């Protein structure tokens, strides 16, 4: 990920060989968090199979650069990058308008914008907790509300990108677990409320996906020994981390005709990992919560530095 304009792992496949070309011809996808590794991989697969796309990210220049990279996957495709913070409802409404002006409609919505970092509850200020709730949960709500008039016209499909942290509870993820639980509840409700309008709402919950920003943030090198990192057989029933293309495959399925009767589900794409143990912190559990661990450095971000020296 040295070049932020190319977030997807170059060695990864786009998707499996299960899908026919052009299945998404003339479809339009609208994706928040679309400049991130996983969501750009989802969009790139859909564009490759015929769709046009609008991707939204907070860093406008980077998002436009990622859009240009995605467009290369299919000559003639239209992929637009918009600078937009999902916490700003009015900005989303304007971006939906601009998308419809440029691409004509919205068929598929991916709510993927998310924020995450590792923190104990002591290290988490009220504003830090609220920031993640605002980006993940309120941002998903804002996005759906802004897109809904368009989705009603197309009998569209919605996918929320969630997580598995809240299934078992995950140390250092109080903020994200709460936000993702809320997203799941939102999707389940929409499946019921919007189903009669022909709109489906489903969740994809990726596990640990290799070469992603999430892996860098949530599985820092000081928490997972190198041998485990290379060979995660003790963590994952399938003995490996997931790939972006495997999340893309699930996305293709849910948006394709094959997924037309699937509504209100959570598709967990994690190799069965959460059923084993969901907590990356288990490597150091409970050591990092005991006296003497006050200076443990979870990661090298602003907040983590702030945590150093604070009480765990």
Each residue 168-207 as x (binds ligand COA by CB under 6 A) or -, in order, gives ----------------------------------------
Distance CA 284, CA 277 (A): 13
To ligand COA, the closest distance from the beta carbon of 117 in angstroms equals 3
Residue with Cβ nearer ligand COA (214 or 232):
214
Nearest alpha carbon to residue 205 among 182, 179, 180, 186: 180
Instruction: Show Cβ contacts of residue 144 under 8 Å, excluding neighbours closer than 6 positions.
Output: 109, 111, 158, 186, 190
Answer yes or no: 155 catalytic: no
| Catalytic residue from among 40, 119, 140, 162 | 162
Per CB under 6 A, 311 contacts ligand COA: no
- Alpha-carbon gap, residue 13 to 36, rounded angstroms: 17
Q: Please, which contacts does 125-133 make with residues 24 or more away whose CB atoms are closer than 8 Å?
A: 128/175, 128/303, 129/174, 129/175, 129/178, 132/175, 132/176, 132/179, 133/175, 133/178, 133/179, 133/182
Asked if 40 is part of the footprint of ligand COA (rule: CB under 6 A), the reply reads: no
Q: Single out the segment in contact with ligand COA by CB under 6 A; choices: 6-14, 88-96, 109-117, 271-279.
A: 109-117
Question: Is residue 300 a contact point for ligand COA (CB under 6 A)?
Answer: no
Choose the binding region for ligand COA from 61-69, 111-119, 166-174, 178-186 (rule: CB under 6 A): 111-119
Q: Does residue number 115 form part of the binding site for ligand COA (CB under 6 A)?
A: yes
Distance CA 243, CA 270 (A): 10
Q: Known catalytic residue: 234? A: no
Q: Point out the residues that are catalytic.
A: 162, 180
**What residues line the site for ligand COA (CB under 6 A)?**
114-117, 119, 123-125, 127-128, 131-132, 213-214, 217, 301-304, 306-307
């Amino acid at each position: 990920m040295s070049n932020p304009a190319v977030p997807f792992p170059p060695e990864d496949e786009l998707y499996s060989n299960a899908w026919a070309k052009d299945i998404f011809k003339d479809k339009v996808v609208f994706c928040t968090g679309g400049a991130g590794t996983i969501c750009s991989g989802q969009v790139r697969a859909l564009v490759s199979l015929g769709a046009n796309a609008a991707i939204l990210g907070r860093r406008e220049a980077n998002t436009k650069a990622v859009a240009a990279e995605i467009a290369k996957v299919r000559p003639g495709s239209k992929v637009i990058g918009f600078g937009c913070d999902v916490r700003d409802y009015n900005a989303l409404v304007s971006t939906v308008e601009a998308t419809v002006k440029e691409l004509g409609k919205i068929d598929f919505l991916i709510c993927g914008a998310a924020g995450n970092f590792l923190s104990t509850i002591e290290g988490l200020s009220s504003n830090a907790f609220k920031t993640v709730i605002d980006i993940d949960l309120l941002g998903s709500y804002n996005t759906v509300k802004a897109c809904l008039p368009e989705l009603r016209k197309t009998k569209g499909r919605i996918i929320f990108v969630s997580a598995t942290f809240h299934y078992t509870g995950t140390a250092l993820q109080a903020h994200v677990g709460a936000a993702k639980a809320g997203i799941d509840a939102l999707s389940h409700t929409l499946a019921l409320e919007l189903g009669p309008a022909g709109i489906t709402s489903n969740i994809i919950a990726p596990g640990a996906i290799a070469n992603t920003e999430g892996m860098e943030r949530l599985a820092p090198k000081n928490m997972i020994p190198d041998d485990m990192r290379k060979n995660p057989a003790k963590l994952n029933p399938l003995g490996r981390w997931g790939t972006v293309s495997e999340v893309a495959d699930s996305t293709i399925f849910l948006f394709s005709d094959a997924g037309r009767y699937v509504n209100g589900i959570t598709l967990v794409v994690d190799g069965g990992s959460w059923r084993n143990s969901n907590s990356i912190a288990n490597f150091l559990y409970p050591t990092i919560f005991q006296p003497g661990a006050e200076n443990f450095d979870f990661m090298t971000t602003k907040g983590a530095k702030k945590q150093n020296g604070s009480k765990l």
